[in-house]
Structure 1
Amino acid sequence: MTQRMKEIADEIVGLQAELDREIERRRRALGWTLSEKIGEFEMGVAAQHRRLRLNLVKFFGRTSPAVVLTAPVIYSLIIPLLLVDVWVSAYQAICFRAYGIPRVQRRDYIALDRDRLGYLNVIERLNCTFCGYANGVIGYVREVASRTEQYWCPIKHAVKVTDPHRRYYEFLEFGDAEGYRARLNDFRARLRDDTPPAAPN
């Protein structure tokens, strides 16, 4: 990683911190706080939410037939998602333990908290639970895959990759054969220590 690339990466981290502060300000404006990973609303806000909940008759009256007809296709994804979830959990339990790689904490990726929102009816809560699980599993699998990639092949691709995982930016440049041979063990050691790879001097 060049010095300029490191500067840009540091700017991104700074912007992320600024975004997090702005999100926290918005939370306060909406009348809620996070307590032990549970969103809690002020009493008046919670009552207002309940008043905004659509009953099922109104909800289905506003739902297009296309949405109703495609819902089974969407929900059929639960089967492959469950299989991937279980398989990846078994994979990292076996392989990461063998390689000395810290295991990914599944609970850090799968958030199922939207069912506490008073303005959602039972169907909307089910939809939100499905989406939270689906995206959480994908995030969890992505982190397991990124640790695997750092262990076996921490090399950037020749072509541009859309939205690469967070470890990717620290990987070796495509074609850096000497760097690969010289630094592969460093990438593995840093992964075992659960620290990001160091940029070359």
Structure 2
Amino acid sequence: MEKTVLEDIQERLAAVRRELEEELDRRIAAQRERFRYQLERGKVRFEKDMRKWQAEYRTGLWRYVTRGNLAYLLTAPFIYGLIIPIVLLDLSVTIYQQICFRVYDIERVKRGSHIVIDREHLAYLNGLEKLNCIYCGYANGVIAYAREIAGRTERFWCPIKHATRAADPHPYFEQFLEYGDAEAYHAWVESYRRNKTLPEDPKP
């Protein structure tokens, strides 16, 4: 069967993504060697002299606060006020997938693959900067984690494309059925009921 233009582009894009992943892995390995750190049981360990060098660039906490932008300081309650809904989102989607994904027979999302908190090991950050980095890593990680859970849920219940393009759809979206194709949707429903087949996962 002849490939469509879209399928050809998707295959080439998948190949580029694999190449990108390989290049990113090489770059991370080079950065570890350059800045002399290793991962031990998931924790970052810098060589002693490297930590000493980093500490020379640390801005003291008092100086950081008193010489900072006042407008930035005044917005802090709005930023940190979001911690409550973010924690609730984290808890909610975790409970949801632990219960529902087992029922739906969907592979569960690994929380630790999305929520990465490791910047507190950097000696050139003061205590407040470390707290900010922990918060940003957690908040963005939770959103990515929830997005992946939502994407797998959509793939399970309603794998149909939209009439208009979304700005940045989750990676499963391109495998969805075409908008308006009633025949394909009906065939998919019947196939799912018999074989439990979902739209294919995106190619790595």
Q: TM-score range by the shorter chain?
A: 0.7 to 0.9
Question: Percent of pairs identical after alignment?
Answer: 44
Q: How far apart, CA to CA, are the structure 2 residues paired with 1:4 and 1:120?
A: 43
Equivalent residues in 2 for 1:136-155 (5 A)?
Answer: 136-155=141-160
Shift in Å, 1:187: 9.7
- 2:197 pairs with 185, 189, 193, which one? 189
Helix, strand or coil for the counterpart of 1:33? strand
Q: CA RMSD in A?
A: 2.4
Helix, strand or coil for the counterpart of 1:10? helix
Given residue 173 of structure 1, which amino acid in structure 2 is its aligned partner? E
Q: How far apart, CA to CA, are the structure 1 residues paired with 2:133 and 2:95?
A: 26
Contact 1:187 1:197 in 2 (8 A): no
Q: How far apart, CA to CA, are the structure 2 residues paired with 1:16 and 1:177?
A: 37
How many residues end up aligned between the 2 structures?
195
Residues 17 and 176 (structure 1), Cα distance of their counterparts in 2 relative to 1, 3 Å cut = farther
Q: How far apart, CA to CA, are the structure 2 residues paired with 1:131 and 1:53?
A: 19
Shift in Å, 1:150: 0.7
- 2:111 pairs with 106, 109, 114, which one? 106
Aligned residue number for residue 5 of structure 1: 10
- 1:91 pairs with 69, 84, 96, which one? 96
- 1:15 pairs with 11, 20, 36, which one? 20
Residues 173 and 20 (structure 1), Cα distance of their counterparts in 2 relative to 1, 3 Å cut = farther
TM-score by length of 2: 0.84
Q: How far apart, CA to CA, are the structure 2 residues paired with 1:168 and 1:181?
A: 18
Contact 1:171 1:197 in 2 (8 A): no
- 1:122 pairs with 101, 104, 127, which one? 127
Shift in Å, 1:136: 1.0
Q: How far apart, CA to CA, are the structure 2 residues paired with 1:69 and 1:197?
A: 43
Runs of 4+ with >6 A deviation: none
- 1:72 pairs with 47, 71, 77, which one? 77
Shift in Å, 1:156: 2.3
Contact 2:43 2:118 in 1 (8 A): yes
Residues 24 and 167 (structure 1), Cα distance of their counterparts in 2 relative to 1, 3 Å cut = farther
Q: How far apart, CA to CA, are the structure 1 residues paired with 2:98 and 2:7?
A: 35
Structure number with the bigger relative contact order (C-alpha 8 A, sep ≥ 6) is 1
Given residue 74 of structure 1, which amino acid in structure 2 is its aligned partner? I
Aligned residue number for residue 42 of structure 1: 47
Aligned residue number for residue 179 of structure 1: 184
Q: How far apart, CA to CA, are the structure 1 residues paired with 2:26 and 2:174?
A: 24
Given residue 80 of structure 1, which amino acid in structure 2 is its aligned partner? P
